[in-house]
Amino acid sequence: MELRQIKNRSLVNFRMLVRILGWLLGIEGVFMLFPAATSAFYGESDYLPFLVVACLALFSGAVMARRSKPRFEHLGRRDGYLLTASVWVVFSVFGMLPFIFSSAQASVSDAFFEAMSGFTTTGASVMVGTENLSHGVHLWRAMMQWVGGMGIILFTLAIIPMLNHSGGMQMFNAEVTGITHDKIQPRISQTAKSLWTIYLVLTVVLILLLWAGPMNLFESVCHAFGTISTGGYSTSPDSIHAWDSVYVKIVMIIFMFLGGVNFALIYRFIHGDFRTLRRNDVLRTYLIVIGLTLVMFVISIIYRRQVYDWQSVTVDPLFQIVSTITSTGFTVVNFENWGSFVLAVTFVLMFSGACAGSTSGGAKIDRLLYLFKNAHNEIYRCIHPRAIKSVKVNGKVVNTELVNKVIAFLCIYMLLVVGGGIILASMGVPVVDAFFSAFSCLSNTGLGAGVTGVGSGYEILPDAAKWVLSALMLVGRLEIFTVLVILTPTFWRH
């Protein structure tokens, strides 16, 4: 960048931000044409609101992209954070409009909550009577999760060549989950393309597999979108029980699991790099955690005499575990009867989430691994104070700054859960519901407090609480720092 520009530039390159936001809105507009077409195909009146909102998004996108004339194109670190956070908000604002004007007839608070929950792949729903929603609305809910799962920015990086520079880098860092960000190709657009290709292929395979089962094509598409993105919206009010099929559950277990694996790792696996896969501590921990919790669940289920058939001790608990750890949030029928021990373990699963670089939520296993290895070292040092120990993950030594960052992350994460819970409680939400909802939304799991057996679903929350939870979802999806840094005074100061 030219020296003169550095001197004259404002803190944030607003005009460039507006222009890029314009491009992105255009993309959202194009996405909305799909539900419009679906509604039209099924002969529903909802095609109109979708079409109108799509045109609105395309129009305002075009105006923003064309009318905003940036003095220079350079995007710095601040721009990256601000852009990424605002993109998610703007997408949700436009994404909620169809809910308000279509047959869903949601209030503004409900619609925004639903949209944010969709894009952040939380999957918490405030819509009652989902069986009455039109096909278009169902598809839109599923598509929001699908786009949000891999990342709005990542999708844009893959298709807009203009972002293929260091500004795109900043946005990539602000959006992709994980502590460090694996690049699998030298240029950011290639990385984005590779990741999206894998995502697309997995989605298509899943659609075909589900279609081969008891679901029809429309249901398969919606559930595939909600599964691979680890979102958790369903087209049926009974969620996946409506099909009561072992086949569907097993297919979904596999793909929820894959949705929780680092996509860079899947890329390497496809390209024949098995060594990285074998050496990957995080993946191993992911598998071990699933295995261990399965044993705990099964013991608890047997102890509570909840065994009705062979599925109750195999597929059902496994489904629940994978659904929770990957932050998808589908539940099996009998879950609330499995006892409080299972519920306690569920908390841990919600907190941990799956691997970084995946579509899952939570704090990510990578971070917990850092934390535990570091804690182990600290305890060892109590006895051998002179010992030099380093945190080693995936065969590589992690430097101390990164460990510190991870610990800070986890502390803030817990503070947000507590803070969110207290705010909700102050709004008159029952304490269990308040803390459970805050936790579930921050970790993007979307399990309702109803599953605890004591609380109830999201629909009973006051409107203000829905906005608080929407904010928590965004903070959780962008992994805290991206959003919080914008709220600090330092961000807006030279």
Binding interface with other proteins (CB under 8 A):
2-4, 77, 164-166, 168-170, 173, 183-188, 190, 396, 399
Between 1 and 200, whose beta carbon lies closer to other proteins? Answer: 1
User: To the nearest whole angstrom, how small is the minimum distance from the Cβ of residue 400 to other proteins?
Assistant: 11
Of 183 and 304, which has the nearer Cβ to other proteins?
A: 183
Q: CB of residue 66 vs other proteins: minimum separation in angstroms?
A: 20
What minimum distance in Å lies between the beta carbon of 237 and other proteins? Answer: 45
Nearer to other proteins, 187 or 241 (CB): 187
For residue 116, what are its two tokens?
């944010």
Sequence-distant (≥ 6) Cβ neighbours of residue 479 within 8 angstroms = 177, 178, 409
DSSP type of residue 42: T
For the chain, the straight-line distance linking the first and the last C-alpha, in angstroms and rounded, comes to: 18
Residue 3 beta carbon to other proteins: minimum distance, rounded to whole angstroms: 4
Minimum distance between the CB of residue 389 and other proteins, rounded to whole angstroms? 18
Compute the distance between CA of residue 16 and CA of residue 83 in angstroms, rounded to an integer: 10
Nearer to other proteins (CB atom), residue 185 or residue 426: 185
Q: How far apart are CA 44 and CA 48, in angstroms?
A: 9
Q: Choose between 6 and 411: whose C-beta lies nearer to other proteins.
A: 6
Residue 187 vs 304, nearer CB to other proteins: 187
Residue 275 or 381: the one with the smaller Cβ distance to other proteins is 275
List CB contacts of 115: < 8 A, sequence separation 6 or more.
91, 92, 93, 95, 96, 99, 144
Output DSSP code: residue 130. G
Min CB(165)–other proteins separation in Å: 6
- Cα 389 to Cα 397: distance, rounded to the nearest angstrom: 10
At its nearest, how many Å lie between other proteins and the CB of residue 310? 46
Distance CA 156, CA 72 (A): 20
CB of 190 to other proteins, least distance (A): 7
State how far the Cα of 295 lies from the Cα of 483, in Å rounded to an integer. 38
Q: Which residues of 67-102 are buried (b: 16+ CB within 10 A; e: fewer)?
A: ebeeeeebbbebbbbbbbbbbbbbbbebbbbbbbbb
User: Rounded to the nearest whole angstrom, what is the least distance from the CB of residue 264 to other proteins in the complex?
Assistant: 11
Compare residues 45 and 180 and give the one whose CB is closer to other proteins. Answer: 180
User: Measured from the CB atom, is 318 or 406 closer to other proteins?
Assistant: 406
46 contacts 134 by C-beta, under 8 angstroms: yes
Cα 255–248–280 angle (5° rounding)? Answer: 20
d(CA 113, CA 308): 37
Contact 492, 11 (CB under 8 A): yes
